[in-house]
């Protein structure tokens, strides 16, 4: 057993490559609640929890009706009847946005998907949404296509590995200060599923890429179903023995 533990410890620095799987719940990802005036919008100041499931950060952000029009543009939603403008209506501050804490499993791999909307006309031009996960560096996602009569929505998908039972997802206004548009809609999270016990990265193999996520699960017993090698109880020493044995012997998924 000592040799097995040393083997895992020596290679635990390896990282995980992810693959998408089932839907994982996020609250009000299409910003349908609260209902705003048809053809209009409602602005929410920083600190507000008025957008169900979300907290507004920075100065302000707005929930906009999909029938809102301005400068000859119809600002239709990507999903449902509403979307959010992270730029708000009073400041266009780069500090403004929305944040949500999502329940995750330690060592679990997820893909965060969202749509960025762009249009061109009047005070609007192609938009950028910045994303920060767990307070990390902001990364910008720009939709370069901006029609003059409607919103164009572009899908972005970002993988991440959960390091705790709660993951904080924050979207910021990444558009230029003179752009009155930073459209976000249809935010969702999908979870990676293993193809067999021990296949932590869902690639059909049990190899070096599975070691670090297995160790994460072993240190948080019961958190990851993919690490439950014997199908009994939580993640314990028996599961560790089975995982290392399969790894050393090159046992594939059945």
Residue 7 has pLDDT above 50, yes or no: no
Residues 204 and 183 in one domain: no
Residue 23: pLDDT band by 50, 70, 90 thresholds?
A: low
Answer for the pair 167, 105: CB distance below 8 angstroms, yes or no: no
Over residues 52-60, the mean pLDDT reads 98
DSSP 209: G
Residues 107 and 138 in one domain: yes
Residues 8 and 55 in one domain: no
Domain that holds residue 27: 22-191
| pLDDT, averaged across the chain | 86
pLDDT at 59: 97
Listed residues 174, 191, 208: the one ending a domain:
191
Residues 107 and 178 in one domain: yes
Considering only CA atoms, which of 142, 150, 146, 97 is closest in space to residue 125?
Answer: 146
Answer for the pair 223, 166: CB distance below 8 angstroms, yes or no: no
Where does the chain show beta strands of DSSP type E?
22-24, 41-45, 55-57, 60-65, 69-70, 73-74, 82-85, 97-103, 109-118, 128-133, 139-142, 152-161, 166-173, 183-191
Residues 95 and 182 in one domain: yes
pLDDT at 38: 98
**Interval 87-132: pLDDT, tens:** 998 889 999 999 999 998 877 778 899 999 999 999 999 999 999 9
Residues 28 and 7 in one domain: no
Residues 96 and 141 in one domain: yes
pLDDT at 199: 86
pLDDT at 164: 86
Listed residues 191, 212, 237: the one ending a domain:
191
pLDDT at 111: 84
Residue 8: pLDDT band by 50, 70, 90 thresholds?
A: very low
| Separation CA 116–CA 34 (nearest Å) | 20
pLDDT at 188: 96
Question: What CATH number is given to the structural domain containing 122?
Answer: 2.60.120.260
Residue 181: pLDDT band by 50, 70, 90 thresholds?
A: very high
End-to-end CA distance of the chain: 26
Residues 183 and 117 in one domain: yes
Q: Is residue 211 part of a domain?
A: yes
- % of the chain beyond a pLDDT of 70: 89
| Separation CA 192–CA 24 (nearest Å) | 10
DSSP 51: S
Q: Is residue 254 part of a domain?
A: no
Residue 206: pLDDT band by 50, 70, 90 thresholds?
A: confident
Residues 172 and 209 in one domain: no
Which residues lie closer than 8 Å to 63 by C-beta, 6 or more apart? 31, 34, 36, 41, 42, 44, 51, 82, 83, 84, 85
pLDDT at 146: 98
Residues 182 and 219 in one domain: no
- Structurally, how many domains does the chain consist of? 2
Q: What angle do CA 116, 121, 126 make, to 5 degrees?
A: 30
Considering only CA atoms, which of 150, 145, 151, 170 is closest in space to residue 160?
Answer: 170
């Amino acid at each position: 057993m000592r040799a097995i533990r040393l083997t895992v410890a020596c290679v635990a620095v390896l990282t995980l490559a992810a693959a998408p799987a089932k839907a994982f719940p996020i609250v009000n990802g299409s910003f349908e609640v609260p209902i705003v005036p048809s053809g209009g919008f409602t602005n929410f100041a920083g600190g507000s929890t008025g957008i169900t499931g979300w907290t507004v950060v920075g100065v302000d952000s707005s929930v906009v009706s999909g029938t809102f029009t301005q400068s000859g543009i119809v600002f239709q939603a990507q999903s449902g009847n509403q979307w959010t403008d992270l730029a708000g209506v009073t400041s266009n501050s780069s500090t403004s946005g929305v944040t949500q804490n999502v329940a995750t499993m330690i060592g679990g791999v997820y893909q965060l998907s969202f749509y960025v909307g762009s249009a061109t006309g009047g005070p609007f031009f192609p938009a950028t949404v910045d994303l920060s996960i767990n307070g990390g560096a902001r990364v910008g996602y720009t939709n370069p296509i901006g029609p003059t009569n409607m919103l164009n929505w572009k899908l972005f998908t970002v993988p991440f590995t959960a390091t705790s039972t709660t993951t904080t997802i924050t979207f910021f206004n990444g558009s230029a200060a003179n752009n009155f548009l930073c459209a976000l809609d249809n935010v969702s999270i999908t979870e990676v599923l293993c193809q067999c016990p021990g296949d932590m990265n869902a690639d059909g193999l049990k190899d070096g890429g599975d070691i670090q996520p297995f160790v994460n699960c072993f240190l948080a017993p019961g958190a990851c179903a993919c690490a439950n090698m014997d199908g009994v109880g939580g993640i314990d020493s028996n599961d560790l023995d089975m995982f290392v044995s399969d790894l050393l012997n090159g046992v594939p998924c059945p």
